[in-house]
Amino acid sequence: MKNKKWIVLLLTALLLLGCLAGCGTESTTDSAAATPRPEPKTAEQITDPDAMFIGDLGAALEDRWQLEADNPIGNYASQSEEQKNTFLSYINAEYNYLEPYRNLTFKDTELGQKALSYLGTLDAQKAALDLLQTDPYGFGYGWQDASEQKAALLQDFISNYGLTVGEAYASQLAAVMPGTDETVAEEPAAVETEQVQTTEEETSGTGTGTDEQVVETKQLLDQWASQIVFIKQEDGSYAADVTNTTGRNLSVVDFKIELLNESGESLGVTYAEATNLKMGEMQQIRFNTPAEFTTTKTSVTFYLQG
């Protein structure tokens, strides 16, 4: 089941990158050649960050999407050094345009903060990428989290700052916005960083539902998870008997368990999983940790209904 879940997570990560496996490569390349992008600027060349950032963001997205189309991640073996370097090249395509803004002063301080937050999502993707070969499960979650935050910021830039891209890339930008057929669980990241991922084939006959339904389900599951109490076992592990009172059949549900000391400070996180947990049924979950914690704070990071 973990292998199946990693496949789902990896597919999600690839989808969140934009059209990876070469889809639209030929038409995108042809159209892009007719409308070349401006070159990245140095910090000294950015004379008005407020006026220039959104345009450079659009160019950064185009450069990344073109690179993804020209050099799809599917060309390389999973978790290989070549695949890691390809992921990194996608991130660097955006860094080339946006990194100079990191230390610039915006007159519109709110826009400036959002620009820094967007750079932060690229930093987070890069940090997640460090786990690709050693902890692919951690990579999947880290990349997912960063991509959701990035999508929320892009929605804001589109709606409130007039972010646009060239015609060849319009479909990729449109896919970021809620309510489009191409949207892949990137909205509404502002509500919850660790948004759930579902697939139409594995839900309980209703598809993924509307954004509001997805958020409502996630909140319900988090409330349910927050009541889980772990008890230390004789073998040193920690276990909890979890009864499914959510009103939903869960084929997979992953729990993020934050370990807290007596002051409420986080000592780190660990994970546990339940599978084929039907409504009303009970299943034991457990984890091991050397940390000396006092309490736990549990939430749901991933689930499939069915």
Question: Sign of the C-alpha dihedral, residues 157, 119, 80, 197?
Answer: negative
- H/E stretch holding 303 reads strand 295-305
CA–CA separation, 238 vs 257, rounded Å?
11
| Predicted pLDDT of residue 194 | 34
pLDDT digits (tens, 9 = 90+) for 239-273: 999 999 999 888 778 888 999 999 999 988 888 88
CA–CA separation, 149 vs 55, rounded Å?
20
Distance of CA 169 to the CA centre of its chain: 21
Taking residue 292's Cβ as centre, other Cβ atoms within 10 Å add up to: 8
pLDDT digits (tens, 9 = 90+) for 58-108: 999 999 999 999 998 878 887 889 989 999 999 999 999 999 999 999 999
* Closest of 10, 31, 127, 167 to residue 74, by C-alpha: 10
* CA angle (199, 152, 4) in 5-degree steps: 25
Q: Write down the pTM of the prediction.
A: 0.56
Domain boundaries of the chain, sorted by first residue: 2-174, 200-305
The top-level CATH class assigned to 200-305 is mainly beta
DSSP 243-270: E--SSS-EEEEEEEEEEE-TTS-EEEEE
First to last CA, the chain: 14
If pLDDT is split at 50, 70 and 90, which confidence band does 8 have?
very low
pLDDT digits (tens, 9 = 90+) for 13-38: 554 443 333 333 344 545 444 457 78
CA–CA separation, 97 vs 118, rounded Å?
12
Residue type, 274: A
